[in-house]
Amino acid sequence: MRSLRTRLVIRTALLLAFTMSIAAVAIYVLMRASLISEFDAALLVEARSLSSHVEESDQTVSFEFEVSQLPDYARKVHPHYFQIWTDDGQVKARSQSLGHKNLVQPRELTVFPEYSVATLPNELAGRQIAFRFTPRIEQAGSDHQQSGETLSIVVARDTAQLDSMLATLAGLLVFVTATTVIGSAIILSHIIGKGLQPLNSLASSIERVGVADLTERVQVVNAPREMVPVVQRLNELLGRLDDTLAREKSFTADVAHELRTPLAGLHTAMEVCASQRREPREYERVIEQCLRVTSGMHSMVDQLLVLARADAHQLPVEIESVEIVNLVQECWSPYEAASKVKVLDVQWIGDQSHVVRLDREKTKVVLKNLFENAVAYTEKLGWVRTTIAIHGSQIAITVANNGCNLRQSDVAHLFERFWRGDQARSDAGLHCGLGLSLCKKMMSVLGGSLEAQVYDGVFSIKAAFPVTPQVVGACEPRTLDKALNRRRS
């Protein structure tokens, strides 16, 4: 697998090579066009000069000077060529360099110059210019005048020097392009290597982070601005992983402790019971004790399973129409007997009963846990107060009780799994510290909120449930307190 450095160098070099090639081709095309244009301009000047010195007298074409005086048309190496014809194809004049050969006379010439590529008599490549012109007629005692007869002239030169210049230019452009690309690739490799040094430092820093110890954080000295968010996100991720591992370790230890304590109690009770023969009543008492412990263990396992399903987003919300009074009464009924045993003053404060749309079963899980905590942690002759208020598309149920021994600083830990205000865990087997955690998770699934407060020995917790879409309608006009009292009676 290619490294990032290699990829950047190769792609940059290819892009540079492409750009340089386009520029080199453009320069070559422009220079070639310019040189050919200059070459053709020289041919035109040469042809115009020759035609201007041509004169006709008594059917004879002659020059004002001897052609032999023009060395360019007589030399052996890279000579120039010209030839003049009449309209019927009769040769009127030719350069000495042609010898016994002829130039190619283009057809349908006009007075406008025509340029073309030609193979010269010396087998070299060249260019030629051709056009028609009217020679001057020489008459005695008068100025030169033009006749009506026209002639055709072709002037040609080889392009060896031009082709050599173009070949040199092409070679120079190829050399410059190749040298620039190779040199740039070498320089880019060094520059990119320096630029990627922070990434190497980042990789080394990540490699130093231990698998078992995630307390070390990623640090890159003089990191570029673009890498700062990456380093921050990595450190945040490491922090979350560290917290998750710590919670997992604590969770494992708490589960082991919560199961070990009731199991040890079960084992001790049955061991003592089996040590000698006892009265039937003693056996019944031990069995009742074991049933309470196993019931608490069963409840803890059920809560853990629900929490696991909630964490995996496997708890779908099922909305249905529910009457508030019936729902509250159904959730309170399992704890009413315990409240009477403690002689608790149970108060119900709220609006008239309404029918709303919400998730019945998940709401019951929350309310039962709130009522269970309120009854369990309220001392004898204490009070429990439940307040229900409906505001638009939200219903708020607040459960409060006195006799609370928690401090305000404990509120932050209330929803942690296996956390309990009784750090001695004297009620092991009855409460495992999962109830409020389960309530918090359920409220998150329902899209509601859960808030707890501690003040002057009073503990209150408020659950705000969303109703869909909002209150459906009111039931028989009666207060919540009277409705619940009537059901209890």
Write down the domain spans for the chain: 4-166, 225-311, 320-488
**Is 4-166's fold the same as 320-488's?**
no
Instruction: Assign domain 4-166 to its CATH architecture.
Output: 2-Layer Sandwich (3.30)
pLDDT tens digits along 443-463: 888 888 999 888 888 999 999
DSSP secondary structure of 113-133: -EEEEEE-TTS-EEEEEEEEE
Confidence at residue 403, expressed as pLDDT on a 0 to 100 scale: 85
Helix axes 160-195, 197-208, angle to 10 degrees: 30
Under 8 Å between Cβ of 80 and 73: yes
- Top pLDDT among 351 and 296 is at 296
Q: What is the pTM of this model?
A: 0.52
pLDDT tens digits along 358-409: 888 888 888 988 998 899 889 899 999 999 888 777 888 999 999 888 887 7
CA 122 – CA 99 distance, rounded (Å)? 10
CA 143 – CA 133 distance, rounded (Å)? 19
pLDDT at 437 over 90: no
What is the average pLDDT across 477-481? 51
pLDDT classification of 352: cutoffs 50, 70, 90: low
Residue 76: CA count within 13 A, CB half-sphere: 0
Confidence at residue 250, expressed as pLDDT on a 0 to 100 scale: 66
pLDDT tens digits along 94-121: 888 888 888 988 888 888 999 999 999 8
CATH code: domain 320-488 is: 3.30.565.10
Confidence at residue 170, expressed as pLDDT on a 0 to 100 scale: 95
Task: Return mean pLDDT, the chain.
Answer: 81
Q: Picking from 265-279, 293-307, 361-375, which range would have the lowest pLDDT averaged per residue?
A: 293-307
Helix (H) or strand (E) holding 340: helix 324-341
Under 8 Å between Cβ of 396 and 388: yes
What Rg, from alpha-carbon coordinates, does the chain have? Answer: 53
Confidence at residue 428, expressed as pLDDT on a 0 to 100 scale: 46
Confidence at residue 426, expressed as pLDDT on a 0 to 100 scale: 45
Under 8 Å between Cβ of 152 and 85: yes
CA 281 – CA 303 distance, rounded (Å)? 33
Confidence at residue 424, expressed as pLDDT on a 0 to 100 scale: 43
What are the structure tokens assigned to 73, written together? 């048309």
The identity of residue 94, as a single letter, is: R
Under 8 Å between Cβ of 216 and 234: no
The identity of residue 158, as a single letter, is: D
What is the average pLDDT across 123-127? 91
User: What is the topology classification, in CATH, of domain 225-311?
Assistant: Helix Hairpins (1.10.287)
